[in-house]
Structure 1
Amino acid sequence: MAEQKDLPHAAGPAGGWGSLRGIAHAYGDALPSPAALRSLGRINKPKGVMCVSCAWPKPANYSAFEFCENGAKATLWELTSARCTPAFWDEEGHTVTALRDWKDHDLEKTGRLTHPLRYNAATDRYEEVSWDEAFAAIGATLNALPKNSAVFYASGHAGLEASYLYALLARVHGTNNLPQSSNMCHETTSVGLTKVIGSPVGTIVWEDLAETDAFFVFGQNPGTNSPRFLHPMKELKDRGGKIVTFNPVIEQGLVSFVDPQSPAAMLTGKETAISDQYHQVKAGGDIAAILGLCKCVVEADDAAKAAGTAEVIDHAFVQQHTTGFDSFIQSCRDADWAEIERESGLTEAALREAAAVYIAAEKVIGVYGMGLTQHAHGALNIAMLVNLLLLRGNIGRPGAGCCPVRGHSNVQGQRTVGIAEKAHLVPLDKLKELFGFDPPTEDGMNIVHAAEALFEGKVKAFISLGGNLVRAVPDQHRMEAAWAAQDLTVMVSTKLNRSHLFPAKQAYILPCLGRFETDEQATGPQTITSEDSFSMISASIGYRAPVSESVKSELAIVAGIAKATLPPLPTLQWDAWTADYGLVRDLIERTYPDDFRNYNKRMYQAGGFYRGNGAHERVWKTPEGKAVFTTPDALNSVGFQDAPGRYRLITMRSNDQFNTTIYGYSDRLRGLEGSRDIVLMCPEDIAEAGLTDGQTITLITDVADGHDRRLSGLKLTAYQLPRGTIAGYYPECNVLVPMQHHDALSGTPASKSVPVRVEAD
């Protein structure tokens, strides 16, 4: 077990009273009405509201409090009593240019947006505009531009109904430019898993959590990013199971946990030790680490054969369900331990200890997050984890499988219903049959392609269904300039964010309902649905009064833009769909009949309804018709060579954060308080570089492409990390990530291994 050694930043356990204090602080900062606390009781329950935070599933047998610290913060932040009305822009110092000096936290603290806004370049301020004026101007501008110069981006906030119509809007307009927030996080999963098991998503269901013998966790931090996952982890430990973690940073959620739903644990402070083994792998060293585990499995199987004892590899499964086995096994046998140790940063003894747990466990779930996906060879990271699972038949049976943990509530579902830039992922023939138009068949742009086209002046308009894209993407300074040079930006938002502060020639902010608010349409209150990480579809029913009579639902906004932009076709019934979202669900069912059978009838089912997953049933939808073993052609995933003075930068999120939303400046689970302007480095590297703990430094991207990327004013902070690995906060460090530094297969930014140099200020 790794422990913080002689450093001042050791923190207490995840959960417990610290979690409650974090919620209380968010409550005090957001200042919602007292009734907002009752809203927490409705989260992740039938006829309630799916959490607006991460995509961790809700159980059918739910508890009284089916939310975590992050979910509570996200809820209270949305239900703030603060309002950002048009009068905000009349106040002194509230020009767009002046607001660029504000912190992200302070921008959002201005409160919920209440009216549609249009940018006035003459005054450098936003001003109120009517919905009809906004829709008409947006439609006229889109129709005056080349179709493929417009990009329709979506974050994971909007429900399946609005997402389906948004994709339809883009395709009737004539483009597949439908990038989505998964392009920046788990697109590597979508592409990488599809290549090797034929499924773009994880293979497990909720019941598997209770049957597994072990979790092998790679590059995922449940304490900060998905705290409800800590309960299944605790339950596994309570029944004698094992958890083995590979992560460069020691994360307290993977060290110890006090269950805040247990009165006894809260009274006594009783901690559950989460990880039986914690291996601080070097940033980008997971390929080598997993290869070492697989080598141990192969050696154990060879020894078992020689001794005439039970096989270790599930050869019957391998023969029936996989391809590429012989080549991969040979690569394991040929792998050199010295190279594995050098590339992983772990010893042979440590990897053998971890492999012993894997071999002894009958059923294993492989868990991972963006620590695997956001690398130049992220898809190979995922393929290697699949290799490990395939060796012992740990995919497609109870208690075993692959579990990518998604970071946004409906990011997976939006892809399911058609928000995708790759034409082959969408049933275009069904759309043609249903709506009587010829959908575009050329692939559109993902986020990287769209950003590069922005830099070249080829993208003229960006529509954003949620999100804070300018702040979320790499190469932030270049992105800000290119974003403002467009003819049109349209942002569907609930609060102010940094992307609003770089308006195009025409720029609109369109305020939308939050998920907790009543969505009243012509036929009455409406329900929206979303998909979680386990492919379960669940309904959300808002019940709170909207923040303003002038806000619209995301679906109504999409329909309003569509009516103003698209030619009138009798099949495009935007008004009817806005009046009754059930009609949209009927369309989704007709478009995707296998996934959404009896959609309207099943959406209130406790725990959601399962849309299915072939790999879960050992149906492999790959070209080979089998799961694929991948022979690695690299031992690290970073995509660059190590050199003297060059470090591998990890960007990470704090405990007081969700994506680009910053709730405060406490990162209590890492023992860091009061600032986000820090960089973590191990004491040995600090000393070798001639620096001192606490001094102010600058990070400079070590890429020779003609662009100077640097971030100054960072406090150097001694922390227990592998040699050569340093860490800083996202999104602040996005200025250091080159747009071209991304996963080779999926285009996902490689934000977990950025080549940088360190200079004293």
Structure 2
Amino acid sequence: MGQNPGTNHPRMLSALEKCKSNGGKIISINPLHEAGLIRFRNPQEISGMLLNGHGLTDIFLQVKINQDVALLKLIEKKLAVKDKASGNVFDHEFIEKYTEGYESLLAHLEAHSEQELLEMCGVEEKLIDEAVALLAKKSKIIICWAMGLTQHKNGVENIKECVNLLLLKGSLGKPGAGTCPVRGHSNVQGDRTVGIMHYVSKDLNAAIKKTFGFDAPAHEGVDVVKAIPAMYEGKAKIFIGLGGNFASAASDTEYTAKALQNCDLTVQISTKLNRSHLITGKTALILPTLGRSDKDIKDGEQRHFTVENSMGIVHQSKGFLDPISDDIKSEPEIVAGIASAYFKGNHPVKWKLLGSDYNLLREKLGEVIAGFKDMNTKSKGSGYYLPNNVRDLDFSKLPNQKAQFSNTELPIHNLKENEYLLMSIRSHDQFNTTIYGLNDRYRGIHNERRVLFMNESDMARENLNKMDVVNIMSNYDGQERKVYQFLVIPYHIPKGNLAAYFPETNPLIPIHEYADKSNTPISKSVRVSVERA
């Protein structure tokens, strides 16, 4: 759901292929009819090179942008009808033992008609019924999702509705079942796990005090979407970017650029040059650092580092490329060096020692955070799983020590007659904000990025033809934002929906519009209109 493995997570395609070869079934839910979702050709296999590839998707549900909740509710509602007739569609033993709110959820589903939900999601009912028939017989269900589900105003609600379905089917806490948020970069997983967060954990602070002897901040900080206004308004004066391409990745590009320029100091710790290096504070530094693929050598010995992958496994990793200079430092060395220079030895932490001795750093990490004890040993080979309460069916930290069903609300966008919902996507020749080429072969795009994918009926309504040039506008809180010179491309996308690449469309996303609770930008459901350029 909300992802396209062929473009965004190519390594996942081989796992899906293995699932199919083992008799598994795949339901794909996505607004775009993506070639990589439907068939997969593995170039590492002779059969993949000689034949037309493997059929991946058994059932494709082309949902309208941000109507996943409506679709999931309709599936659950139809499953409930089957369960009422047979009594064996839902896992009632699991529901009774581990969950709370089941009866409330059923009453909530009854408040919505099937016709209402069908019209909202836009999926053909025959296909939904096929999916329901398949799910009714299965107890091992994995729901995978990416930013196509989270980057909406109701992103948290989207995930809660996925969990509702898994709870109904008892598809948690056993092999071949559960939630699977498909993230990407190791830092996305690792930073929160090791305590890099804007809110305060008293337990974490107490562990830091015990191990390192200093008091961590006891007041809430800011995340990305709150840090940008803080810099814009002059409340935050120093920006340090540990990797990434902040100016291009963040929403509301012009606002974000001005926020960075308002800083007294901007520091970019980077493996490669990128556009953010051109948007600086009053004083700016670029500190080159080793990449993950570089050999990290200290005193003639190569050091390894540890990463957490998408599945919550911690394992060791070593680079294989010679660094371009013997003087380039690793990220831990740079961070520790900055701290050492700032405190001038007047701090209980031995910063430089921790920055150079990764084994000691990992030992200290194990003293502070649950799950990292003995990491130096356990991370060898294939690594080890971090603690996971749901995997162990431990819901002791939840109300009444039970997993909670959620009564989620349907998303309402109140589009004007001339407005559409735009989702940002990335191309095949792209990794995050890094553009390797101008082709997107699975979608038939060559030598161009400023394109707007549009339903042919919407093109007719706007009196547009293929390759016509348009501007795209968003209007939030009375402020118009605009991007220019996009080529219109007819595409298999639901009526009323548009798609275009990021970061080219990031200027359309207002900085103050983000998901409730998670603060994720609304990059996948932006209200826009189009005009001829």
Q: What TM-score comes out, normalization by structure 2 length? A: 0.97
Shift of 1:303: 1.1
Indicate the residue corresponding to 1:5 in structure 2.
none
Q: Distance in 2 between matches of 1:713 and 1:574?
A: 50
Partners of 1:302 and 1:652 lie apart in 2 by: 40
1:241 equivalent to 2:24? Answer yes
String of CA shifts for 1:160-204, please: whole Å, max 9, x gaps: xxxxxxxxxxxxxxxxxxxxxxxxxxxxxxxxxxxxxxxxxxxxx
1:538 partner SS = strand
Distance 2:26 2:106 in 1: 25
Structure 1: 5+ residue stretches without partners: 1-217, 306-310
8 Å contact 2:39–2:55 — kept in the other structure? yes
Code of the aligned partner of 1:712: Y
**Superposed, which structure 2 residues align to 1:115-514 within 5 Å?**
218-266=1-49, 268-305=50-87, 311-424=88-201, 427-514=204-291
**What's the offset of the Cα at 1:358?**
0.9
**1:44-63 equivalence runs, <5 A:** none
What amino acid maps onto 2:279 in structure 1? F
The secondary structure found in structure 2 opposite 1:666 is coil
**1:668 aligned residue (433, 438, 441):** 441
Which residue of structure 2 aligns with residue 611 of structure 1?
A: 386
Distance, in Å, in 2 between the alignment partners of 1:438 and 1:482 is 30
Letter of the 2:235 counterpart: K
**Counterpart residue type for residue 77 of structure 2:** K
Between the aligned partners of 1:263 and 1:692, the Cα distance in structure 2 is 41
408-417 or 732-741: which moved more?
408-417
TM-score after normalising by structure 1? 0.68
Give the paired residue count: 532
Kept in 2: contact 1:249–1:280 (CA 8 A): yes
- Of structures 1 and 2, the one with the larger relative CO (CA 8 A, separation 6+) is 1
Aligned to 2:475: 702
Letter in 2 for 1:392: K
1:627 matched to which residue of 2? 403
Q: Distance in 2 between matches of 1:473 and 1:570?
A: 34
Q: For the residues of structure 2 that align with 1:428 and 1:501, how far apart are their CA atoms?
A: 37
User: In the superposition, relative to structure 1, how do residues 602 and 408 fare at CA in structure 2: closer, same or farther (>3 Å)?
Assistant: same
Q: 1:583-622 counterparts in 2 under 5 A?
A: 583-592=360-369, 594-606=370-382, 608-620=383-395, 621-622=397-398
RMSD between aligned residues = 1.5
CA distance, structure 1, for counterparts of residue 474 and residue 94 of structure 2: 46
Q: Is the 8 A contact 1:298 1:332 kept in 2?
A: no
How far did residue 541 of structure 1 move? 1.6
Shift of 1:348: 3.1
Deviation at 1:567, TM superposition (A): 5.4
Q: CA deviation at 1:232?
A: 2.0
Taking the aligned partners of 2:239 and 2:428, their CA distance within structure 1 comes to 31
Tell me, what secondary structure is at the counterpart of 1:732?
Answer: coil
Gaps of 5+ in 2: none
1:291 counterpart letter in structure 2: K
Relative to structure 1, the CA distance from residue 425 to residue 508 in structure 2 (aligned partners, 3 Å threshold; closer, same or farther) is farther
Give the direction of change, closer, same or farther, for the CA distance of 1:365–1:425 in structure 2 (3 Å limit).
Answer: farther
Indicate if the aligned counterparts of 2:421 and 2:527 stay in contact, CA closer than 8 A.
yes
Whether the 8 Å CA contact 1:559–1:575 is kept in 2: the answer is yes
Amino acid at match of 2:288: P
| Residue equivalent to 2:312 | 535
* 3-state SS, counterpart of residue 387 of structure 2: coil
Secondary structure of 1:342's aligned partner: helix
> Which amino acid in structure 2 is aligned with residue 642 of structure 1?
L
The range that moved more, 279-288 or 219-228, is 219-228
Secondary structure at the counterpart of residue 159 of structure 2: helix
2:332 and 2:356 in contact (8 A); partners too: no
Q: Out of 748-757 and 228-237, give the one that drifted further.
A: 228-237
Q: Which residue of 2 is the match for residue 24 of structure 1?
A: none
Instruction: Give 1:523 deviation, angstroms.
Output: 7.8
In the alignment, structure 1 residue 641 sits paired with structure 2 residue 388: no
From 520, 527, 530, give the equivalent of 1:748: 520
| Bigger shift: residues 237-246 or 377-386 | 237-246
Q: Is 1:723 paired with 2:486? A: no
Task: Answer whether contact 1:521 1:580 (CA < 8 A) is retained.
Answer: no
Tell me the distance in 1 between the aligned counterparts of 2:354 and 2:51.
52
**Alignment partner of 2:509 out of 737, 742, 745:** 737
Counterparts of 2:47 and 2:450, CA distance in 1: 38
